[in-house]
Amino acid sequence: MTMWRMIGVVGLVVASIARGDAAEIAPDQRRSGLSFMAPETQAMQSDDTANPAMLAVLDGEMLWKQKAGAANRACADCHGDATASMHGVAANYPAYDDLLARPVDLEQRINLCRVRHQQASPLADESRELNALGALVARQSRGTPIEAGGDVRLAPFVANGKGLFMRRQGQLNLACANCHDDNWDRRLAGSAITQAHPTGYPIYRLEWQGMGSLKRRLRSCMLGTRAAPYQADDPEMVELELYLMSRARGMSIEAPAVRP
């Protein structure tokens, strides 16, 4: 037993010397998750009639025109045609909300809109309706560069998010950075690790057989490191989303994406 433990410790030390601590990814080294996927999955994403996330966009188009709440108004009654009014909007999320004095992500913005302007109940986290509307809005930013985190009022929240990204947590004692900054060129159990740039959310993930937001993806990652995942409305969750989006600033949005 003792012998084995000795060998284990030696192995770890050697590994950490060989690998070292990589720095943050240089801007010209950044790669979308798309480039890590198999050609077949890339083809599925790039063909709008084969991309199953486009079914959510279709649902979103229907919900966009559906009247809701005590105000009996639809999204379209204020915002008109989503293809025009929502162009480039998702590239700025999470964005600062004046009333709450903190950043809110795209799904929270949709729900705030429902509560404040439609006087309707908020949609459940990860519900089909919320992801459909998110997919519709995000679709209108396809091809535009990510701009989130530019607002000076967001600076402390971006810094908090970066702190969370760098902080080791969970039973495996891993920080996000240990995989996604230091080892993105490697594989984990046969799967590409990727650089964690949220360029395509909400996504259709083949493993889920359905749609999911960035929050769902982050929760999966946290469960993988055996950490207690943040809840959808925790400030930490939005700060982490905000840091990831600001880390990907300038990269092109490809929503709604397909991921394995």
Partner 1 sequence: MASALINVPATAKHGDIVEIKTLMSHIMETGFRHTETGAVVPRNIITDFSCRYNGVEVFRAELFPAFSANPFLAFFTVATESGTLEFRWAGDNGFS
| Interacting residues with partner 1 (CB under 8 A) | 47-50, 52, 54-55, 58-59, 62, 206, 209-210
Nearer to partner 1, 36 or 204 (CB): 204
61: left (phi over 0), alpha (psi -120 to 50) or beta: alpha
Q: Please state the closest distance from residue 108 (CB atom) to partner 1, in A.
A: 24
Counting every residue, how long is the chain? 260
Q: How far is the CB of 162 from partner 1 (least distance, A)?
A: 36
Nearest-approach distance from CB 200 to partner 1, in angstroms: 17
Nearer to partner 1 by Cβ, of 53 and 177: the residue is 53
Q: Which of 75, 176, 179, 221 is catalytic?
A: 221
- Please name which of 137, 155, 259, 153 lies closest in space to residue 198, comparing C-alpha atoms: 259
- Shortest Å, Cβ 206 to partner 1: 8
Q: Which is nearer to partner 1, 60 or 94 (CB)?
A: 60
Q: Which CB, 29 or 46, lies closer to partner 1?
A: 46
DSSP string, 110-132: HHHHIIIII--PPPPTT-HHHHH
Report, in Å, the least distance between residue 167 CB and partner 1.
Answer: 31
- Helix %, strand %, coil % of the chain (to 5): 50, 10, 40
Alpha-helical segments (H) within the chain = 2-19, 39-46, 53-64, 75-79, 82-85, 106-113, 128-139, 155-166, 176-180, 214-224, 235-247
Min dist CB 139 to partner 1, Å, is 14
Q: What order do you get walking across the sheet with 210-212 strand by strand? A: 210-212, 203-205, 258-259
**Which long-range CB contacts under 8 A does 128-131 form with residues at least 24 apart?**
128/56, 128/59, 128/211, 129/59, 129/63, 130/213, 131/56, 131/107, 131/202, 131/211, 131/212, 131/213
Rounded to whole angstroms, the Cα distance separating 245 from 148 reads 6
Verify whether residue 221 is a known catalytic residue.
Answer: yes
| 52 vs 122, beta carbon nearer partner 1 | 52
Looking at the Cβ atoms of 59 and 147, the one nearer to partner 1 is 59
As annotated, the active-site residues are 221
